[in-house]
Amino acid sequence: GAPSCPHGPALLFVKTGQGKEEGRRFYACSACRDRKDCNFFQWEDEKVSETRLAAREEYNRNHQPAFTHRQNMERYKNFVLLPLSKRRFCQECQQLLLPAEWEKHLNHQLLCDISTAQLKSPSQFLHPLENKKTNAQYLFADRSCQFLLNLVIDLGFRRVLSVGTPRLHEMIQSKASQEEDFRVRSLLLDIDFRYSQFYTEDEFCHYNMFNHYFFGGEAACETCRKFLCEDNGERVIMVTDPPFGGLVEALACSFKKLMAMWKETGKEGQGNKEMPMFWIFPYFFESRILDFFPSFSMMDYQVDYDNHALYKHGKTGRRQSPVRIFTNLTPSMIVLPVEEGYRFCTLCQRYVSSGNQHCEICNSCTSKDGRRWKHCVLCKKCVKPSWFHCNNCSCCALPNHSCEKTDSGCFVCGKAGHKRTACPSLS
């Protein structure tokens, strides 16, 4: 029953103010946090006139892609038949061009002589969408992408539901076309419709992971369902790499719906079994992810990205990538590369980074960021090496932190002693 914007059904939010438990509820775009990208807004109790509803539907229609997925596939078939000298891609419009369309793009920057190899690696020449509040399309570095694919193969999976992981999907598609004995297949679900120019309707679904919305309607939803239920739902894994600025609650809701789709089509007697999943996200979201998926655990492997200034492999200390793999698979099954410094902890029964030392008091390898953490007896847990116990705050913090913040009160409920993120009212 939610109203829709060009990105599908809107999500319900609530305005909160100082000392108030709950404010007025409103609908806003599920995918864009910045009003400049999508300015949809409607109060939950607002009465919307028929005229405004009609205008909204017209606006949504006008903001859909110029071509349908099927039309893009027809265009692709014609494009690959062209000689190399006539294969052009408009960098401004982000579109493959047929000769009849060249005139409209005369003043645009073009890529010419597009090879078949380039067509199989579209993420290499499509401009990454790097708006942190909308797409945050950071692409896996080859090292991380190859590691994930090797891990999927070693664990015996034959199908990968790639949710927002175009680089992994691309690598699987490329290997499948080059190696006869390669048996892994992938279905890409992504909000970036540009990929419909390169992949068929059985290989790509236009999908919004913040509201579980298939832009292609029931047909696209059925494509996903069919992919998940092959072989009675066996040997399929979901790999997802959402924008880090996205709401964990909204993402978890969508992922649970994809898991339910797998469960209802799988074989009988699965009980509480979950679809295997890799959720790639920064380590500081661990508690939020575990709130929604208690069966998940965080691996120490550092995922890095080609086009991200900070999340690059090989950096040390706090400059290391904070991105990790959260999974519902047994941790001991996830073998991390020893040549990169990972080792197996026999007590924890999982692979950990070289700096992650086992704490006998916590009975766990406690480091989250790759550095060796230290145990605080007063906090009864391990903390970052740069933190010290503050008697005013009764917890560990950075030496130069401001103790006054604990007295100013929570932004949500106005009470002292905790921050907004830890407010009991939010639950």
Digit-coded pLDDT (tens) for 199-215: 999 999 999 999 999 99
Q: What is the signed CA dihedral for 293, 294, 299, 300, rounded to 10 degrees? A: 110
Calculate the CA 198 to chain-centre distance: 21
Q: Tell me the C-alpha distance between 336 and 303, whole Å.
A: 12
Residue 44 · residue 12 · CB < 8 Å: yes
**Could you give the angle at the alpha carbon of 337 between the alpha carbons of 335 and 343, nearest 5°?**
75
What is the reported pLDDT for 394? Answer: 85
Return the closest-CA partner of residue 347 out of 366, 329, 328. Answer: 366
Instruction: Give one word for 19, left, alpha or beta, with left for phi > 0 and alpha for psi -120 to 50.
Output: left
| Tokens (6 digits) for 141 | 């570095």
Q: Cα–Cα distances in Å, from 207 out to 5, 275, 373?
A: 14, 19, 40
What is the reported pLDDT for 406? Answer: 46
Mean pLDDT, 10 residues at a time, over the chain (427 residues)?
A: 92 78 86 85 91 93 91 95 93 91 91 90 77 60 92 95 95 89 94 94 96 94 94 93 90 96 71 88 93 95 74 54 93 92 91 89 87 90 90 86 61 60 62
Q: What is the pLDDT of residues 277-316, one digit of tens each?
A: 999 999 999 999 999 999 999 999 999 887 554 555 555 4
What is the reported pLDDT for 134? Answer: 45
Long-range Cβ pairs for the range 360-369 (8 Å, 24+): 365/300, 367/300, 368/283, 368/284, 368/286, 368/298, 369/283, 369/318, 369/320, 369/322
Q: Where are the beta strands (DSSP E) in 191-269?
A: 204-208, 213-214, 236-240
Q: 345 pairs with which residues across the strands?
A: 350
When computed from its CA atoms, the radius of gyration of the chain, rounded to whole angstroms, is: 24
Cα atoms in the 13 Å half-sphere on the side-chain side of 135: 17
Secondary structure class of 26 (helix, strand, coil): strand
